């Protein structure tokens, strides 16, 4: 793994963790404390977006970690 690829992976992980922390400790809680209907809808939509991004990242990591060969036919 090259140093540039490793740096990009670490930068992406740091960005994801900072964005998750910001959402759950600052923005999301502020929207829930407001209590208006619009704020609750925004909090729900933001949490759904966070879940979709997390699921997409997990699928991306799993797809890139698996080998690209076919599992149907055994190797000769």
The per-residue DSSP string of 11-71 comes to HHHHHHHHHHHHIIIIIHHHHHHH--HHHHHHHHHHHHHHHHHHHHHHHHHHHHHS-SS-S
pLDDT tier for residue 76 given thresholds of 50, 70 and 90: low
Q: How far, rounded to the nearest angstrom, does the alpha carbon of residue 13 sit from its chain's CA centroid?
A: 9
Q: Model confidence over 55-72: pLDDT tens digits?
A: 988 888 888 777 666 556
Residue extents of the structural domains in the chain: 18-64
Question: Can you give the pTM of this predicted structure?
Answer: 0.70
39, pLDDT greater than 60 = yes
């Amino acid at each position: 793994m090259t140093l540039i690829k490793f740096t990009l992976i670490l930068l992406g992980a740091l960005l994801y963790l900072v964005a998750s922390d910001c959402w759950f400790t600052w923005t999301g809680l502020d929207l829930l404390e407001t209590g208006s209907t619009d704020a609750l809808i925004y909090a729900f939509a933001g949490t759904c977006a966070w879940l979709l991004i997390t699921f997409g990242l997990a699928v991306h990591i799993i797809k890139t970690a698996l080998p690209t060969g076919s599992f149907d036919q055994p190797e000769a």
